[in-house]
Chains A and B, each alone.
Chain A
């Protein structure tokens, strides 16, 4: 008989007046890989925190290895909920938070950064030899002497996994690994997860992408608004209506595309980028599938002015070459020999200004509800932040702000009046970020992993927001390492593998769909 590792019995969790989990019931067995698919983002983070941090719950009970560790019943002091794992870590979480220390070696990260380490004096040679045995056992080709900062993403997550296993944790939560690793890496990682599950370790895989869960899970729970609505066994996986499949027609087919260049990379070399050569025309919506996540950061750095390519050139919005800036660059290079090798030449009328994003470009980074929101400034001020770079007097002229308010309050609703933007719902935060750029009216909109860490509802919402830009004729460039959710939008896909462009196909040729699938 299989041993039960985790059971949540009618767990209800509320915070800030919102019911995140509602009579939530689930159980897991030892050695099982249980997928949890959230139809909405609602409750996802809370479930992970309740299990991993043993937060007090409002109703229900939680059992770990058939021992009660969390209960809604008040304790002797009248404190809500009694949570006690008797000092044990209920579950390890592997996901967004990087828990490796960059300046420590891999062996030190695995053996020293875990509970119940009793040795005070560290014997390095023993540490490394133990790690070598462990790595051999799990088929890892990682040197224990390597610093954690030198590991790539896959190696980092494998080491975190190893450390969790060494800690004696029987339950490991994998949070959105499909967002954090590319296709090949995910396959490799799942292979390791599968072999560990065969040794009795249980895995709880939490994700917004149903398709990815079907590749690894033994069972999948479907969660809708904080409640388990169905449990699917492996043979039933195909029967579920994957919300991602509803996006099977691009929405931008009627947008007019011109032959004028919006963005052009001419034989650019930088970091992992090798002979990067592509062009995006005005009005197009292009998905750049960065399979190994090698070039996205570099592209963003170039467009935001944070760095320059080693060689090659970048053109923005075509137009005539600006001979003056070319000459200026040439003189600068001639006068400073050491810079000749390291400065790229910019041949555009709108030369990229060093140190900041060019004026007609908008960039929305991944997970914008945290990365692109400026705290301690009201929602409305956040909305006006980008347009203020063009309008010097926006903050002093009441009429400008009043007209913006009048126009955007109809689109956004009452959230526009919020003093603290983080009081807004996720939908409203996405509206703020996207409408900020809509107000700015850029010629080129660059989106980094727009659908990462989003549920189906948010994805529909984001799709609608991006469609608004396309209706205006804005050129859209999507940089993503997981293209499935972006299928609805793009008219063209550029595939990048290990820093090189390997394929460039248009959607209407049918090739693009074949590439993804």
Chain B
């Protein structure tokens, strides 16, 4: 590629919506890595990097799902419950002797159905998404507790070694499979959002649902698809966490909806809908995990960690708000 074409490409990339905000988050991430590496020489060591990558994987997955729902103009607060359902269902099925590949398929299918329920409540019944997904969060928790009789599952056992290797302990190029699964799903979703009609519709529905309705686009189906994808991504996150733990835990997904929102918003996904890149989600998830890991390693008390994380999120989102206020296009729309 010639020099002029390269610079033109870079300029075009920067002008693409969401790239600047992802860049801001990337710069903050690089600064944090540098600071933590200076404070703790072992921060950049193999084991710690491996830990960080393993912790990024489930957060990236839930972040991807939440990003897609946010881009479509809504929100999903039931992600934590979906992760819990995935964990309990897969572990329960495996402890009852089902081969792990069937258990995985049934679990993912069930998560998808749970996501579809969210889609129906939000898209077709027009219940505000934050209300509908809080309701399904509580509903899902209740059902999980009922079915599991309020106890976590037993250890999935050595027979499920295949499952645990597939989703966590197995390695390729010295990186755990959990990371590769997250990366592969991220790439698939990148292609979906940028290259497929569904992806365009997700962006467009979030940006201008009125125009999309008169253009004959199936808005309800688009919302359904976004919630199903979110739920399936959460299902994968649940499987990874279960594989790591070795048993199903009802509360395994606690606070994951917050991690998902943090990863998405830090990475530049706007809460107004229609805008955002999954590259930003990856940066957001990485920033979150690096921050958490780094603060622990340098001995910052937990309470202070929470304060620092909160401040960083406010700072990055504030940059996003200021960037949006400056756009004449937005001003014209308001």
Which A residues have a C-beta under 8 Å from some C-beta of B? Answer: 16, 300, 304-306, 355-359, 361, 363-365, 370-377, 381, 385-386, 388-389, 392-396, 419-420, 422-423
Contacts and interface: CB of A to CB of B under 8 A. Distances in A.
A358 B200 CA distance: 20
A373 B328 contact: no
A9 to B, nearest CB: 27
Given A370-B332, A388-B197, A419-B12, A376 B203 contact: yes
A374 B330 CA distance: 11
21 contacts: A304-B213, A356-B213, A356-B218, A361-B216, A371-B211, A373-B211, A374-B204, A375-B207, A375-B329, A376-B207, A376-B274, A385-B200, A385-B215, A388-B200, A389-B217, A393-B197, A395-B196, A396-B196, A419-B15, A420-B329, A423-B329
B89 to A, nearest CB: 32
Given A376-B17, A422-B329, A306 B213 contact: yes
Nearest to A381: B200
A355 B333 contact: no
A355 B207 contact: no
Interface residues of B, number: 31
A395 B195 contact: yes
Contacts of A395: 195-197, 199-200
B214 interface: yes
Contacts of B120: none
Contacts of A376: 17, 203, 207, 274-275
3 tightest CB-CB pairs across the interface, nearest first?
Answer: A422-B329, A357-B216, A363-B214
Given A371-B210, A374-B204, A419 B216 contact: no
Interface string B287-327: 00000000000000000000000000000000000000000
B211 A365 contact: yes
A386 B212 CA distance: 9
A395 B215 CA distance: 17
A357 B207 contact: no
A89 to B, nearest CB: 20
Name, among A306, A375, A394, the residue most crowded by chain B CB atoms within 10 Å (CB to CB): A375
Given A372-B211, A385-B200, A16 B328 contact: yes
A395 B332 CA distance: 28
Nearest to B220: A355
Contact of B333 (A370, A372, A393): A370
Interface string B43-69: 000000000000000000000000000
B7 interface: no
A377 B274 CA distance: 9
B16 interface: yes
B117 to A, nearest CB: 18
Given A381-B200, A389-B216, A374 B211 contact: yes
Binding site secondary structure of chain B: helix
Given A388-B197, A395-B195, A375 B213 contact: no
A394 B330 CA distance: 28
B254 interface: no
Contacts of A381: 200
A373 B208 contact: yes
Contact of A386 (B15, B216, B220): B216
A487 B11 CA distance: 46
Given A355-B218, A394-B197, 5 more contacts: A363-B214, A376-B203, A395-B197, A422-B328, A422-B329
B219 interface: yes
Given A395-B196, A420-B15, A375 B216 contact: no
A71 B216 CA distance: 50
Contacts of A364: 214
A299 to B, nearest CB: 12
A396 B16 CA distance: 19
Contacts of A371: 208, 210-211
Interface string B208-237: 101111111111100000000000000000
Given A365-B210, A370-B333, A420-B329, A377 B199 contact: no
Nearest to B213: A304
Interface string B264-284: 000000000011000000000
Contact of A375 (B16, B199, B274): B274
Name, among B208, B210, B217, the residue most crowded by chain A CB atoms within 10 Å (CB to CB): B208
A306 B124 CA distance: 11
A43 to B, nearest CB: 15
Contacts of A420: 15, 17, 329
Contacts of A363: 214
A355 B213 CA distance: 8
A356 B212 CA distance: 9
Contacts of A396: 195-196
Interface string B149-171: 00000000000000000000000
Contacts of A389: 215-217
Interface in B1-57: 12, 15-17
B214 A357 contact: yes
A381 B199 CA distance: 12
Contacts of A392: 197
A409 to B, nearest CB: 17
Contacts of A377: 200, 203-204, 207
Name, among B12, B197, B220, B328, the residue most crowded by chain A CB atoms within 10 Å (CB to CB): B197
Contacts of B213: 304-306, 356-357
A358 B12 CA distance: 37
A384 B213 CA distance: 15
A358 B219 CA distance: 14
B15 to A, nearest CB: 5
